[in-house]
């Protein structure tokens, strides 16, 4: 691998995989860093997978040496964000700074807080009112402060709730059960418009940010289709499957009770505001700047269900 061409991705989850696929398509050498260091059949054969410890700055410096760009797609368990997420990302950022690479962060919308149904744009102020929103705001501010200080050259890519092949979060509870004739699990209201992002589009955005100099120093939203209600999303699922899809709508009370036994569900209660009113992300900035187009929801759903069946 030649100097200044290597692209290093922390994590091997859905977002990391789709970022790697796009970078490989662009002809870039790619290294993925995971806790186990084990390759996954879903990772492109051209990609090198190494063992790492994202909390260890010295090890992070070793695995990112000579990198043109480093992509932060790793995260701790959902219920461990407060304690573990900021130190993890700081250890990666410090390594990127030491090696002079670009730093591309995969992020979400939690830091914007409750916008009272107003469309979310990249330039909106951070107004987090949830525990995890405050964590995300703190981490994002640290990245951009480091960029302004000249420590790193950074860009942040964000998506709304995403689904797609290789995703074991939304896809697992809101789509996969339908294949077995079981109810899919949904939150909040069925009739509020909601932006859904497709994980392959998210990965393409991150790869674009890591290979386009004009992306640096800014926040970019993943090109995503027009918002739909959860009822409309279920209808799309039914059209693709050719069968009726049952659903179960979790109330706050139900989530609080089940959360006593399921930590991830307990942590989801504070995010219900996203599902009880319009939750709309304006992704026009990246579409206009880079010419990226969102995958139509029908196509995204079809690809996701095909992956679930395999």
Residue range 151-184, pLDDT digits in tens: 999 999 999 999 999 998 899 989 999 999 999 9
pLDDT single digits (tens) 70-108:
999 999 999 999 999 999 999 999 999 999 999 999 999
The answer, yes or no, to whether residue 3 has pLDDT greater than 60, is no
Number of CB atoms found within 10 A of residue 244's CB: 10
User: Which domains does the chain possess?
Assistant: 6-163+197-226+280-295 (3.40.50.720), 170-192+228-274 (no CATH)
Do residues 279 and 194 lie in contact, with contact meaning Cβ atoms separated by under 8 Å?
Answer: yes
Q: What is the pTM for the complete model shown?
A: 0.96
The answer, yes or no, to whether residue 1 has pLDDT greater than 50, is no
Q: How far apart are the C-alpha atoms of 47 and 71, rounded to whole Å?
A: 14
Tell me what pLDDT residue 259 has: 63
Tell me what pLDDT residue 265 has: 81
pLDDT above 70 coverage of the chain, percent: 97
């Amino acid at each position: 691998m030649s100097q200044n061409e290597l692209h290093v991705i922390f994590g091997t989850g859905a977002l990391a995989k789709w970022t790697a696929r796009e970078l490989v398509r662009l002809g870039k050498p790619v290294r993925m860093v995971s806790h186990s260091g084990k390759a996954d059949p879903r990772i492109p054969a051209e990609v090198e997978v190494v063992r790492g410890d994202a909390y260890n700055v010295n090890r992070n410096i070793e695995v990112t040496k000579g990198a043109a760009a480093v992509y932060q797609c790793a995260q701790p368990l959902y219920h461990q964000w407060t304690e573990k997420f900021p130190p993890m990302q700081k250890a990666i950022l410090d390594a990127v700074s030491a090696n002079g690479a670009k730093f591309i962060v995969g992020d979400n919308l939690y830091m914007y807080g409750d916008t009272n149904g107003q469309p979310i744009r990249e330039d909106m102020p951070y107004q987090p009112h949830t525990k995890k929103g405050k964590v995300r705001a703190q981490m994002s501010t640290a990245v951009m402060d480091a960029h302004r200080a000249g420590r790193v050259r950074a860009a942040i890519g964000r998506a709304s709730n995403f689904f797609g092949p290789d995703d074991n979060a939304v896809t697992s509870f809101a789509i996969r059960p339908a294949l077995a004739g079981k109810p899919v699990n949904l939150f909040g209201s069925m009739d509020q418009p909601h932006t859904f992002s497709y994980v392959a589009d998210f990965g393409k955005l991150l790869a674009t940010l890591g290979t386009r100099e004009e992306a640096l120093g800014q926040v970019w939203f993943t090109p995503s289709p027009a918002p739909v209600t959860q009822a409309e999303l279920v209808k799309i699922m039914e059209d693709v499957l050719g069968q009726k899809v049952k659903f179960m709508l979790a109330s706050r009370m139900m989530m609080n009770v089940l959360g006593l036994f399921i930590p991830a569900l307990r942590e989801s209660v504070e995010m219900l505001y996203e599902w009880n009113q319009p939750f709309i992300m304006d992704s026009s900035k990246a579409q206009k700047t880079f010419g990226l187009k969102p995958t139509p929801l029908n196509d995204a759903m079809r690809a996701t269900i095909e992956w679930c069946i395999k």
